[in-house]
Structure 1
Amino acid sequence: MKINWKVRFTNFHFYIQLALAIFVPILAYAGLTAQDLTTWPTLFNVFAEAVRNPYVLFTVAVSVYNSIPDNTTKGIGDSQQVLTYNKPKGDK
């Protein structure tokens, strides 16, 4: 299982996907929406409670794991072609 982390970390969409993979399960467990987080202390309290809760950490871990595989290949690694990329491939 090889993953081209260098290319993933240069892709802005990977960061968005990873942030949502962490943020959404925490909000769902807390029964909140993004609109409920109107102050920084509220946001920090939600994350502090999430870190103390093994169930929430497990759901975040599953969500992050689900954001890693390339769904166009078998398994969770990248294809041989993707492993040769130095930057995300654009449309021609």
Structure 2
Amino acid sequence: MINWKVRFKNPSFIAQLVLSIFVPILGYFGLTAQDLTTWGYVFDLLMKAVSNPYVVGTIIVSVYNAVNDPTTKGFSDSQRAKNYKNPQ
């Protein structure tokens, strides 16, 4: 079990999660953040990414790496982290 409430209170986790989605997309399509100049272009890019199995796979791996706690066995938080009320 993952303590999602505490993780989403942490701005670093949110930034890491957003980057774990956008960096594989930008890398695959050979773009930089400066290329995202309109919301229409961003949504078109997301639709292209979702329709590409390779990009979806790299996003899944990237998100897994952002969410997984390597200090615990399996895919969960430690017992101590599960009891946190705020990010430590």
TM-score, normalising length from structure 2? 0.88
Residue identity over aligned pairs, in percent, reads: 59
Inter-partner Cα distance in structure 1 for 2:50 and 2:74: 30
Q: How does 1:47-86 map to 2 (within 5 A)?
A: 47-86=46-85
The CA deviation at 1:75 is: 3.5
Q: What is the letter of the counterpart of residue 56 of structure 2? A: L
Shift of 1:83: 1.1
Quote the residue 1:5 is aligned against: 4
RMSD: 1.3
**Structure 1 CA distance for aligned equivalents of residues 36 and 11 of structure 2:** 24
Instruction: Provide, for residues 31-89 of structure 1, a one-character-per-residue CA deviation record: whole Å limited to 9, x for no partner.
Output: 11111112222212111110111111111111001101123334332111111111112
Where does structure 1 lack aligned partners over 5 or more consecutive residues? Answer: none
Equivalent residue number for residue 46 of structure 1: 45
Using the alignment, how far apart are the partners of 1:13 and 1:44 within structure 2? 24
Answer with 58-67 or 41-50: which moved more. 41-50
> What CA distance in whole angstroms lies between the structure 1 residues aligned with 2:40 and 2:79?
46
Tell me how far apart the structure 1 counterparts of residues 79 and 63 of structure 2 sit (CA, whole Å). Answer: 23
| Equivalent position amino acid for 1:79 in 2 | S
Aligned residues: 88
The alignment status of 1:22 with 2:31, answered yes or no, reads: no
| Distance in 2 of aligned mates of 1:64 and 1:9 | 14
